[in-house]
């Protein structure tokens, strides 16, 4: 994660605005919100907040306007925070080897077929294929002899 001081963050914002033909000072709240959304793909939430604060400080020094307090900007930052939180939860779930329900105080052993059946009920297509494999009565026969054709 890159650390930005105020002057670097302000220069990045000015460059971003100039490349799009927007006015960096005084910036329209829409411009600041759009910049925050653009930063979302490259930086974490805390870094984005730091950058928006640097933009606000520059506005206070030069124009007395506070675009960071506009409802559009605050809603955008809240949206970015929520998305990042969801991504972190998804990463934690993907990294988990077992389901939490399998280790509860009254957890009964769950067969692979039942686990896949739960996934089918949630609607994933790959889980349906897994259910068909899990419920197969006989194993699939594979010939190990080399073909003579």
pLDDT digits (tens, 9 = 90+) for 60-78: 888 777 888 888 999 999 9
Residue 105 has pLDDT above 70, yes or no: no
* pLDDT single digits (tens) 38-65: 998 888 889 989 999 999 998 888 877 7
Same-domain check for residues 47 and 115: no
Same-domain check for residues 116 and 73: no
Same-domain check for residues 89 and 125: no
pLDDT of residue 123: 60
Same-domain check for residues 55 and 116: no
- Of the two residues 98 and 86, the one the predictor is more confident about is 86
Domain of residue 114, residue span:
109-133
DSSP designation for 98 = S
Residue 143 has pLDDT above 70, yes or no: no
52 CB burial (10 A radius; 0-12, 13-18, 19+):
buried
Residue 148 lies in a domain: no
What average pLDDT score do residues 16-30 get? 89
Q: Which residue has the tokens 């939180």?
A: 85
Same-domain check for residues 29 and 77: yes
Residue 140 lies in a domain: no
Same-domain check for residues 25 and 85: yes
């Amino acid at each position: 994660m890159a650390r930005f001081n105020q002057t670097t963050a302000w220069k990045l914002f000015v460059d971003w605005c100039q490349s799009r033909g927007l006015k960096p000072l005084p910036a329209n709240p829409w411009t600041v919100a759009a910049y925050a959304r653009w930063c979302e793909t490259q930086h974490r939430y805390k870094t984005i907040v730091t950058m928006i604060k640097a933009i606000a400080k520059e506005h206070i020094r030069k124009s007395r306007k506070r675009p960071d307090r506009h409802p559009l900007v605050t809603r955008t930052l809240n949206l970015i925070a929520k998305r990042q939180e969801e991504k972190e939860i998804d990463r934690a779930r993907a990294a988990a080897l077992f389901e939490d329900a399998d280790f509860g105080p009254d957890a009964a052993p769950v067969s692979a077929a039942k686990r896949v059946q739960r996934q089918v009920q949630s609607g994933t297509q790959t889980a349906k294929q897994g259910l068909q494999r899990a419920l197969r009565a006989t194993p699939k026969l594979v010939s190990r002899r080399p073909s003579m054709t």
